[in-house]
Amino acid sequence: MNQFIYQLRPTRVEMLSEGPDEQEALAIEEHFHYLQRLNEDKLVLMAGRTLTQDESTFGIVILEVDSESSATAIMQKDPAVAKGVMKAVLYPFRVAFWSERECSINSAT
């Protein structure tokens, strides 16, 4: 298996400070559920975002899949990407360290 990371950035930065419009909100909700399913299928190692609310904001998704073409397909099918709410860039990646300790996770969308 190979690891890849895709970085997500909002296409409309104002969405972060002004709030999403109806289409953006729907795409973000679908994006969350999409990643949740991929996590349950053991394809997503980790996903999250920065807590900034400006142009520096980004999210990441770390995948473990068989090929770059699989990673690309997953990224392109992400509802936030497919619906143009976020731009995504894929990179080959390798996790160097992984902590086995418990992590507090806030699953707010």
The C-alpha atoms of residue 67 and residue 7 are separated, in whole angstroms, by: 18
Rg, C-alpha atoms of the chain: 14
Half-sphere exposure of 35 (CA within 13 A, CB side): 24
pLDDT of residue 106: 63
Walk along the chain (109 residues) and give the pLDDT tens digit of each residue. Answer: 999 999 999 999 999 999 999 999 999 999 999 999 999 999 999 999 999 999 999 999 999 999 999 999 999 999 999 999 999 999 999 999 988 887 777 655 4
